[in-house]
Amino acid sequence: MVMAAVNEVGILGAGAWGTALATVAARNNHRVVLWDINPIIAGCINDVHKHPFALSNVKLSPLIRGTSRIEEVGNCPLILGVVPAQLMRSGLTQLAAHIQNPSSLTLCAKGIETDTGCLMTDVLEETMPGTRAVVLSGPTFAGEVALGLPTAITLAAKDPRDASYVAKIMGGTRFRAYVSNDPIGAQVAGATKNVLAIACGIAEGRSLGQNAIAAIITRGIVEIGRLTAALGGSTGSMMEPSGVGDVVLTCTSSQSRNFSFGSRVGQERTSISDLIKSSGTVEGFGTAASIAHLSQRLQIEMPIMQAVAQVLHQGANIDDTISNLLARSSTDI
């Protein structure tokens, strides 16, 4: 397999995560084209080397150039798709019109498309047929990555050579990349752990204690394994950074948007619709509905994930939902 040499990395999406990944590439001495639909963001990145809304404490490298012209990303030999999962189809569709024969594209959003139940690799295949997918996932708070704090990630592709190629460009001593041949497992874990984090946050908001949170994580990992296997992935992928690593980080830290959102849901001080408006991107909100539909269609037992969907999307009473979960037989696996 012959890969193009890289001297410029294109990043589709200049949110906190896209900007953090731009700092990783720049730290490895690659020029970066960082796209956002908002020209104000691109202007600030170019004029003062800072993002106006995210990671405001991070001075960006002069190697990072902002743009609101998506065709400039399409000219780069390595492209990372970092727009939110529910916007990935739209972003890739726009990009597809400005890219010539892409060999591979690295997907960095963690979620399942709400309307279709598609993984991000499915969305890529439908918008850019024949483009090989690499999945970048793992326990990664954007602020820590941008500051160069030690981080481990999974890079997964059907052909590990595609993942290794990205690892050589993006990896380093402070951004350690572990290569996997299971993109399905990496995606399922990355998406479902956001829903699991909301469940843990709700438990924290209802003052159920650390024991309850540990139980939710334990049983949630079982549910993730069920969905992974049903979709053709390997349950062994849970032992990678994109699996247990991401679950532990996202389900136990107040820095996690999904955990913090769940905690506020559990406190019941504000309506869920108002919380969504004020919380930024909470990938687990949309993914909860996707997983509930998938589990029903595939006839998989995922009671925790389904309970979160019932609370968020069907207006179920939180305490009644918790009681129903606790009333399940302990022999129910």
Q: Which residues are catalytic?
A: 193
Asked if residue 284 lies in contact with residue 227, where contact means CB atoms within 8 angstroms, the answer is no
Per residue in 242-268, is it b (16+ CB within 10 Å) or e — as a string? bbbbbbebbbbeeebbbbbbbbbbbbe
Angle, vertex CA 88, rays to CA 84 and CA 93, nearest 5: 150
Strands (E) in the chain, as ranges, are 8-12, 31-35, 64-67, 78-81, 104-107, 132-137, 151-156, 175-180
> Which two structure tokens, joined as six digits, stand for 110?
């963690």
By three-state DSSP, how is residue 133 classified? strand
Cα separation, 2 vs 103, whole angstroms: 10
DSSP 176: E
Cα separation, 29 vs 208, whole angstroms: 47
- Listing DSSP states for 3-30 in one string gives ----SEEEEE--SHHHHHHHHHHHHTT-
Asked if residue 284 lies in contact with residue 195, where contact means CB atoms within 8 angstroms, the answer is yes
Cα separation, 295 vs 220, whole angstroms: 13
**Dihedral of alpha carbons 173, 175, 176, 177, sign:** negative
Among 239, 233, 205, 17, smallest CA distance to 108 is for 17
- Residues forming beta bridges with residue 67, ordered by sequence position: 35
